[in-house]
Amino acid sequence: MTPVLSKTPALNIGKANILVVDDEPSLVELVGDVIASQMPCRIVAAQSIQQAREVIGKESIDLLVVDVNLPDGDGTSLVESLRSQQPMSSAIVITGAPSVDRAVSALRQGAVDFVAKPFSATQLMEHVKTALSRQAKRLKESQRLDRLRDAVKRLNSARKVVSKKVDLLCNDLISAYTELSRQMDVVRTQEGFRKYISEAKDLEQLLCHAMDWMLRQLGYSNIAIWLASEDSEFQLGAYMKFTIAGEQDLAGALQQGLLPLVVREGMVHLMPEEAQEKLSEPELDYLADQTILGANCTYLGEPLAAMILFRDANKPFTNEDAKTLQSISAIFAVALATIVRGAQQYEGDGSPFADGDTLDEENGHKSDGDWWKRGENPPF
């Protein structure tokens, strides 16, 4: 049988949907006449458990009013079905044969009230109002909990965003601090080198002090410093032997191969496998198993010198060694330009620098950086 709808107005927002399940038309009429006349509601009628289940599966029900005795079974079974599908709904169970056991069973299944026949319209109205009031209260609490859950969800989402931003900020700060620390290390290295070579009074002493500093900072190595001449050619200005003698064949090979590479690229850091690809056969006769560093020293855009260091690959130069050499190359070029200008200024005028002496030597003081010049063993 198709569910019978009462002649109440169509459902509007704020109206309660009341499902009345009874095979006796009198109960449906009573609910329709009494309840619908006193409160805004929509009455849906069903005469069996099967019809009621179809309604529950299709429509939103605020209150179920069901008789225990129905043609196809115990009407209290609908209470559990309703609560499982629509947890916020309320239910009133009506019976003509009340008992404590039946009332307890109905309440356990989710009914909010148990009404015994016979009852008056006023009594039914009070039970319906109470049930709907409880249903509205539960619905309000459920909506409040939903809002709280939504707020918690949004707070968690915001916390994740804030946490992510904090992490990014911390990473940026760490990166900035790391970069600042690296720059400070470079500045300390440059200032240390500048101070060390500032004691040099002539070209020979400048070369001595520069090589001495490199040995102390980068470790024992073979060092070749090439100086640019007026015709833009490079000549070997100084060579420090560690393991390989600065023979003419080696100097000539470097001048033809590695030196132009360093001047062209500005910085060179080669391991043996890279050297095999970039160096010539004459160079590889000496440098096949060597680790190599090279830096072009420029002043006002002009290459004034080139530094080339090499040693056995068992103790390779690191990237930090390469950065150190690169950081001092420009400072060496400035010092070199200053020394050359000073030598040109005082040449032939009786200056104490004209014959290669230094003020320190004239005063009887030997500079620590001149040990190589004097043919002494390293002081470190």
pLDDT digits (tens, 9 = 90+) for 205-244: 999 999 999 999 999 999 999 999 877 689 999 999 999 9
133 and 210 share one domain:
no
Mean pLDDT for 121-130 is 83
pLDDT of residue 352: 33
The DSSP symbol for 269 reads E
345 and 204 share one domain:
yes
Give percent above pLDDT 90 in the chain. Answer: 35
244 and 336 share one domain:
yes
Token pair, residue 144, equals: 């409040």
The DSSP symbol for 96 reads S
Checking if the pLDDT of 13 tops 90, the result is no
Which of 134-143, 152-161, 370-379 is predicted most confidently? 152-161
pLDDT of residue 221: 94
- Residue 324 forms part of a structural domain: yes
CA distance 245 to 310: 12
Mean pLDDT for 288-304 is 93
Listed in order, strand segments (DSSP E) in the chain are 16-21, 41-46, 63-67, 69-70, 73-74, 90-95, 113-116, 222-228, 234-240, 267-270, 290-299, 302-312
- Residue 65 forms part of a structural domain: yes
**Rounded to whole angstroms, what are the CA distances from 207 to 100, 297, 339, 342?**
111, 13, 11, 15
234 and 119 share one domain:
no
139 and 202 share one domain:
no
- Residue 161 forms part of a structural domain: no
pLDDT digits (tens, 9 = 90+) for 22-74: 888 877 887 778 887 788 888 888 989 999 999 989 999 888 888 888 888 88
Predicted model pTM: 0.51
CA distance 268 to 322: 8
User: CATH no. for residue 338?
Assistant: 3.30.450.40
CA distance 110 to 108: 5
- Residue 48 forms part of a structural domain: yes
User: CATH no. for residue 48?
Assistant: 3.40.50.2300
244 and 307 share one domain:
yes
- Residue 226 forms part of a structural domain: yes
Token pair, residue 73, equals: 């079974």
- Residue 163 forms part of a structural domain: no
pLDDT of residue 362: 42
At 271, phi and psi to the nearest 5? Answer: -100, 170
111 and 20 share one domain:
yes
Of 116-120, 168-172, 324-328, give the lowest mean pLDDT range. Answer: 116-120
372 or 276, which is more confident? 276
Domain boundary residue among 144, 163, 188? 144
226 and 133 share one domain:
no
126 and 274 share one domain:
no
113 and 220 share one domain:
no
- Residue 8 forms part of a structural domain: no
Q: How confident is the model at residue 375 (pLDDT cuts 50, 70, 90)?
A: low
Mean pLDDT of the chain: 81
Checking if the pLDDT of 293 tops 90, the result is yes
Mean pLDDT for 352-359 is 36
pLDDT of residue 99: 61
Mean pLDDT for 283-291 is 93
Of 181, 285, 295, 306, nearest in space to 237 by CA: 306
Domain boundary residue among 144, 163, 180? 144
**Segments forming the whole domain that contains residue 132:** 16-144
At position 351, the amino acid (one-letter code) is S
Domain boundary residue among 110, 125, 144? 144
pLDDT of residue 183: 77
Number of structural domains, the chain?
A: 2
358 and 230 share one domain:
yes
Q: How confident is the model at residue 361 (pLDDT cuts 50, 70, 90)?
A: very low
At a CB cut-off of 8 Å and minimum separation 6, what does 277 contact?
none
228 and 340 share one domain:
yes
Checking if the pLDDT of 318 tops 90, the result is yes
- Residue 140 forms part of a structural domain: yes
pLDDT of residue 358: 38
